[in-house]
Amino acid sequence: MMNLKMLPLLLCLVAVVSCEEAGQFKEGKTLAGKQVSKETLNLGQTTYMEYCVQCHGKNGDGLGVSSAGMWPPPRNFKLGIYKFGNVVSGELPHDEDFYRIIRKGLNGTPMLPWDISDKRLDAVTQYIKTFAPEAWEGEDKKPGTKYELPADPFGEARKAEAIEKGKRAYNITASCIQCHRGYETKADMSAWNKEINKVPLKSEEFAADLYQLKMQDSDYGYHTMPPDFTYHKVRVSHTTEDIVQRLMYGVNGSGMPGWKDVVTDEELWAIAYYVQSLKDLRNNPAREELMNKIEKQ
Ligand code: HEC
Ligand code: HEC
């Protein structure tokens, strides 16, 4: 039988053991100017080991046991760069960006939406930052610049007009076809060039890979693929408004640049309406009609 006098000692031992098990962090950290407690970091680590480690890896390097052959590869958190923050390209995402990405997942990838408590969501967000101390720790580190979403100048009533403007901006003014594929006939593109630049396009001015995806070099150590909007799933650009957000900021480190102040706010919305209309062709017989029209020209 246990002597009652031993109870406090026993409790103490249990406390020490569970304290050891609770995690590696013995003190808090300041991450991009925000004080994060050791309890939060330790909860973040437990959450990570439960839900994220199999893909993102014990050391955060993206080389978890399930990552082999996965495309796109799980993010390597040691790089301290992230694709889908709503911040100026190259700057650090805000916590709300991580919450959104983790809660909604990245559509079309193995990164699913995670339904975890707000407390764990915040904790795991703070924890993954600790894999990249050079990016997050230091007096000068702060979350990046956000733009205000410009008001939609079209609205549902003028959607058709927006799409027509979007076609011109996508193909001629912004030339998204440098990386993404084209979806319009050469005759139409030539006519739009005449409208905008006063001269039609000569046949030798069309790139040989106009109707192909052009793989890009990235900062992540692999080639990134500009999606075919009529075929692939896009990661975070669900609504027209989401597309405007993505266009403003680009996809950091992937090759996809930001377009805020490169094209006008009206053009941003026009392009977004056009891209949304292309997305609507996914799994739709109208896609085949479009592809036939391009093939037959
Ligand atoms: C089944 C594999 C898998 C699991 C499990 C997983 N992820 Fe991911 N995650 C990915 C992949 C793949 C990507 C890269 C997608 C891309 O580049 O488009 C990614 C990307 C990310 C990104 C980068 C977002 C950006 O903007 O660059 C974050 C943050 C992230 N995951 C957090 C988490 C967290 C937190 C968990 C656990 C709650 C988790 N992931 C679990 C596969 C996974
Ligand atoms: C220099 C090459 C390049 C140019 C120019 C470019 N993109 Fe991209 N774009 C990419 C790449 C690469 C990706 C895939 C990023 C990833 O997921 O890794 C992408 C992804 C996207 C996505 C998907 C975002 C998501 O949620 O997954 C949209 C929408 C998009 N681009 C629209 C455009 C539009 C519209 C233009 C012209 C205004 C444009 N892009 C110009 C390279 C480019």
Name the stretches of the chain with pLDDT < 50.
1-2, 7-20
pLDDT digits (tens, 9 = 90+) for 279-294: 999 999 999 999 999 9
CATH topology for the 156-296 domain: Cytochrome Bc1 Complex; Chain D, domain 2 (1.10.760)
pLDDT digits (tens, 9 = 90+) for 153-207: 999 999 999 999 999 999 999 999 999 999 999 999 999 999 999 999 999 999 9
Task: Name the token pair of 81.
Answer: 């760069």
If we measure between CA atoms, which residue out of 186, 192, 248, 183 comes closest to residue 213? Answer: 183
Contact criterion met (CB below 8 Å) for 213 and 226: yes
What phi, psi does 68 have (nearest 5°)? -55, 125
Distance CA 114, CA 120 (A): 11
Instruction: Give the per-residue pLDDT at 23.
Output: 79
Q: Is 251 in the pocket of ligand 2 (CB under 6 A)?
A: yes
Please name which ligand lies nearest the alpha carbon of 124: 1
Contact criterion met (CB below 8 Å) for 273 and 244: no
Q: Is 83 in the pocket of ligand 1 (CB under 6 A)?
A: yes
Indicate if 156-296 has the same CATH topology as 27-136.
yes
Q: What is the pTM of this model?
A: 0.93
Domain ranges across the chain = 27-136, 156-296
What CATH class is the domain 27-136?
mainly alpha
Q: Is 37 in the pocket of ligand 1 (CB under 6 A)?
A: no
